[in-house]
């Protein structure tokens, strides 16, 4: 009896830590307390069922059915988290900036996704990786300048615009956009200089 209680408490604590880890990314934190509260009874009960199945071979089939039912319910509760973690892992495996390959043309889907998630440092890493494929790429330099504007680093942003403008193949609209971005970065630099003085 005591052993059974200790086992259930241990499973409960381990399960809570595991569920906290499953909901650690900011995108998955919403409602995690409710999920954990809903999951713990099923988790502890499933651990109890395993104990019964081991001790009582006669009721093993019935106990197994209850255990599988608990697992299905838990999977349903945590399916969005599992899907997100698997998807994120697949994306990082296939398109991580430190991974060789990924095509010969620059691809900014990952960088744009990271920017949307406000993961600017990771987005910069992805952009710098893609930059190896085309050092004067308009979209790459443009996105980097936008990130440096967001992080209040106008000098780095102006450097990107300068390199961007060295591209002789820019379309008229792209040249205009670069001019506007340069103007905005210079204004930001002036504002920061005034605040620091």
**86 and 130 housed in the same domain:** no
Same domain, 91 and 113: no
Q: In the listed set 65, 95, 125, which residue is the last one of a domain according to the structure?
A: 95
* Same domain flag for 49 and 119: no
CA nearest neighbour of 81 among 12, 13, 20: 20
Domain end position, chosen among 35, 70, 95:
95
Count: domains in the chain: 2
Enter the pTM of the model.
0.47
Which residues make Cβ contacts (< 8 Å) with residue 132, sequence separation at least 6?
none
Which distant-in-sequence residues (6+ apart) come within 8 Å of 174 by Cβ? 138
Whether residue 90 sits in one domain with residue 113: no
pLDDT of the residue at 153: 93
Domain ranges, residue 23: 2-95
Question: Average pLDDT of each block of 10 consecutive residues along the chain (197 residues)?
Answer: 64 78 76 84 74 58 69 82 80 54 56 85 87 82 91 93 86 89 92 85
């Amino acid at each position: 009896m005591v052993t059974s209680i200790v086992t259930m408490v241990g499973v409960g604590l381990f399960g809570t830590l595991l569920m906290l880890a499953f909901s650690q990314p900011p995108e998955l934190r919403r409602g995690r307390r409710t999920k954990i509260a809903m999951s713990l009874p099923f988790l502890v009960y499933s651990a109890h069922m395993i104990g019964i199945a081991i001790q009582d071979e006669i009721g093993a089939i019935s106990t197994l059915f209850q255990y599988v039912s608990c697992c299905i319910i838990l999977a349903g509760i945590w399916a969005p988290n599992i899907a997100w973690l698997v998807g994120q892992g697949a994306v990082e495996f296939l398109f991580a900036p430190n991974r060789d390959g990924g095509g010969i043309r620059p691809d900014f889907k990952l960088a744009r996704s990271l920017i949307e998630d406000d993961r600017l440092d990771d987005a910069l890493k992805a952009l710098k990786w893609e930059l190896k494929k085309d050092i004067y790429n308009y979209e790459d330099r443009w996105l980097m300048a936008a990130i440096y504007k967001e992080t209040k680093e106008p000098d780095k942003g102006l450097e990107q615009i300068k390199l961007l403008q060295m591209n002789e193949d820019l379309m008229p609209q792209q040249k205009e956009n670069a001019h506007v971005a340069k103007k905005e970065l210079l204004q930001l630099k002036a504002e920061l200089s005034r605040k620091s003085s």
